[in-house]
């Protein structure tokens, strides 16, 4: 089994502060890590749940993929991040199984991780992120 943990569940939102405030008042959740990822045009707030995270994500510019997603589909579940020991090996296994890569090779993600995205087409409609810590 190549997946070692659910790393994060990513939720696309318009208003990050409002989403953080909601998770705080509804669940007592606190922000564990916050980061702007310029390359992806997103700002993330990570709320820790056991060894996993809820990742609230907002676009930082109108041409970011998250902005396009919000425009097309509205707020909600965006992708699942699966933790793996070896991102390159997991990506190769996905491709061998008929999956479709968005990232042809692993690249830097947030929190100093190495990541690769797998297209929902070929993965039964779910955008998958492989996350190596």
Q: In what order do the strands lie in the sheet with 52-59?
A: 31-37, 42-49, 52-59, 3-12, 76-84, 128-132, 114-118, 107-108
Containing 21, the helix (H) or strand (E) segment is helix 16-27
Binding to Co ion in span 49-88, by CB under 5 A: 81
Binding mask 3-22 for Co ion (x = CB under 5 A): -------x------------
- State the nearest-atom distance from the C-beta of 18 to Co ion, in Å: 20
- State the nearest-atom distance from the C-beta of 79 to Co ion, in Å: 6
3-state class (DSSP) for residue 78: strand
Between 28 and 83, name the residue whose CB sits nearer to Co ion. Answer: 83
Between 25 and 100, name the residue whose CB sits nearer to Co ion. Answer: 100
User: Using CA atoms, how far apart are residues 89 and 112, in angstroms rounded to an integer?
Assistant: 19
Between 43 and 129, name the residue whose CB sits nearer to Co ion. Answer: 129
DSSP-based helix, strand, coil % in the chain, nearest 5: 30, 40, 30
- State the nearest-atom distance from the C-beta of 66 to Co ion, in Å: 10
From 41, 43, 117, 129, residue interacting with Co ion (rule: CB under 5 A): 129
How many residues in the shown chain lie near Co ion by CB under 5 A?
3
- State the nearest-atom distance from the C-beta of 5 to Co ion, in Å: 14
Per CB under 5 A, residues contacting Co ion are 10, 81, 129
């Amino acid at each position: 089994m190549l997946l070692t943990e659910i790393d994060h569940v990513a939720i696309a939102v318009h208003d990050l502060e409002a989403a953080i405030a909601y998770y705080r008042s509804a669940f007592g959740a606190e922000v564990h890590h916050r980061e702007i990822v310029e390359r992806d045009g997103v700002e993330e707030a990570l709320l820790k749940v056991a060894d996993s995270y809820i990742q609230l994500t907002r676009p930082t510019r109108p041409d970011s993929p998250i902005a396009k997603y919000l425009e097309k589909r509205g707020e909600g579940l965006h992708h699942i991040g699966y933790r793996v020991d070896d991102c390159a090996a997991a990506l190769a296994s996905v491709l061998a199984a008929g999956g479709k890569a968005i990232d042809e090779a692993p690249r830097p993600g947030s929190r100093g991780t190495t990541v690769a995205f797998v297209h929902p087409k070929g993965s039964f409609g779910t955008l998958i992120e492989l996350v190596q810590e």
